[in-house]
Structure 1
């Protein structure tokens, strides 16, 4: 799936750890030709589905990432993507991708998660997601098996993390695609 020139980037971490901001930063740094496959968008917006074992969003994330890679796009898959529920699908993506693949886990302590969540500009989200809800979702160092992920701590600033991923994946040296 994909080609020797496509890049697959997986960014995982707890709620409010910075996954979506990093994905957006990668697209801004790279330009056209970088698809963002966001768990929240596909699960909550497209399907309006609860996060559960065997959920339809798991297959939709897989299919969307594969389709974009086969179409020549570089792909960022981002979300909480718990190892227990999403690990097998992610492992198949990693195994099947022909190009450069890198995985990152954002290791943000619970207290920092609360602080970051409180700074979100969406009042509906803030009202709907309490500290107790965040505590229930929080999984400390929910790493995928096999040591495939680079762990990035809460002390890494957004621009530094984007720059690191651009370098690690080789996206920094590639031109945007004409799509």
Structure 2
């Protein structure tokens, strides 16, 4: 679906994906205060290294803080 959407898009299209260990994902989720779902649901949905094939995606790892994420996206987009 996303590759089709990108092919149909007339502008610049880039893909970014968080590639985080489960424990880091859970820590970030807990830090948001979300009450809609918790660890049990996250474990059911979890797919380690779930890359989107057919797309030139940039990965955002656990070493990226918010400033680094913004910088990665901005520089990739040429801003």
> Would you say same fold, with TM above 0.5?
yes
Contact 2:17-2:58 within 8 A present in 1 as well: yes
- 100, 122, 132: which one aligns with 2:12: 100
Instruction: Check if 1:112 corresponds to 2:24.
Output: yes
Instruction: State the partner residue of 1:148.
Output: 56
Q: Displaced runs of 4+ in structure 1, greater than 4 A?
A: none
Distance 1:142 1:119 in 2: 23
> TM (normalized to structure 1)?
0.41
Answer yes or no: is the 8 Å Cα contact 2:17–2:60 preserved in 1: yes
Query: Contact 2:15 / 2:57 at 8 angstroms: preserved in 1?
Result: yes
Aligned residues: 79
The residue matched to 1:101 in structure 2 has which SS? coil
Pairwise CA distance, 1:121: 3.0
Provide the residue aligned with 2:65 in structure 1: 157
Instruction: Pick closer, same or farther for the CA change 1:135–1:98 going to 2, 3 Å.
Output: same
* Aligned twin of 1:27: none
Structure 2-normalised TM-score? Answer: 0.85
User: 5+ residue gaps in structure 2?
Assistant: none
Alignment of 1:18-29 (within 5 A): none
- Higher share of residues assigned strand: 1
- What are the ranges of 5 or more consecutive residues in structure 1 without an aligned counterpart? 1-88, 173-179
Contact 2:3 2:55 (C-alpha < 8 Å) held by counterparts: no
Q: What are the residue-to-residue correspondences of 1:12-51 with 2, within 5 Å?
A: none
Structure possessing the higher radius of gyration over alpha carbons: 1
Per-residue Cα deviation, 1:45-85 (whole angstroms, up to 9, x for no partner): xxxxxxxxxxxxxxxxxxxxxxxxxxxxxxxxxxxxxxxxx
